[in-house]
Amino acid sequence: MRVISGIYKRRRFDVPHTFKARPTTDFAKENLFNVLSNYIDFEDNVTALDLFAGTGSISIELVSRGCDKVISIEKDPLHLSFINKIMKEVKTGKCFVLRADVFKYIEKCQEKFDFIFADPPYALERLSEIPDMVFKYELLKKDGMFVLEHGKDLSFESHPYFIEHRHYGSVNFSFFGYPSDESSDKAEEDTKEEETTVL
């Protein structure tokens, strides 16, 4: 597992072969963050949430790129220990690793985030519920970005907060966020024009 960019760039961490977690590939991760750089300045006091943190690949990348605070949610105790080990190795106090069920955490979370990433098992029965829950419980700040990694069989293009979809090999990312003020203003203008036309 390799850190792509930032203060820990090129640092490698050996993931135990016994782990069930499927870390996001370096190729997919690099392309993901290239896209995210158009949306988010991670060095601008960004708080992030990493759901189904697994090996901590995304968490350490976020810390490396300058996130002010990263909360990593992972249920498996071995994976949790591995993430803690990584953060101790790089001597950072910016990542907070919590052992919890993601769905229960979302329901109880009182914090809002600039960036949320979720990489659930592709076969997870409730995977398609995750975007709805993130917005229902208002975990995302109004100008924030939520990214869900999923298999090729799922599409979220009809979701009200869907922004775009990217795929790299077998890895698929769906991007979600609230409509921008510009979009809202434009929608209001269009509505006014339609009303004027009707009158």
pLDDT above 50: residue 116: yes
> pLDDT per residue over 64-81, tens digit each?
999 999 999 999 999 999
Give the pLDDT confidence score for residue 181 in this predicted structure: 63
Rounded to whole angstroms, the Cα distance separating 27 from 9 reads: 15
Give the pLDDT confidence score for residue 110 in this predicted structure: 95
Could you tell me the pTM of the whole model?
Answer: 0.89
Give the pLDDT confidence score for residue 19 in this predicted structure: 84
Token reading at 77? 């105790």
Rg of the chain (C-alpha set) = 18
Please give the average per-residue pLDDT across 163-167, as a whole number: 97
Rounded to whole angstroms, the Cα distance separating 159 from 161 reads: 6
Instruction: Indicate the SS3 state at residue 176.
Output: strand
Please give the average per-residue pLDDT across 177-192, as a whole number: 56
> pLDDT per residue over 32-51, tens digit each?
999 999 999 999 999 999 99
Q: Where are the domains of the chain?
A: 26-198
Class of the 26-198 domain?
alpha beta
Q: Which amino acid is at 119?
A: D
Please give the average per-residue pLDDT across 4-14, as a whole number: 95
Nearest residue to 183 via CA among 160, 149, 165:
160
Q: How many residues does the chain have?
A: 199
Instruction: Indicate the SS3 state at residue 4.
Output: coil
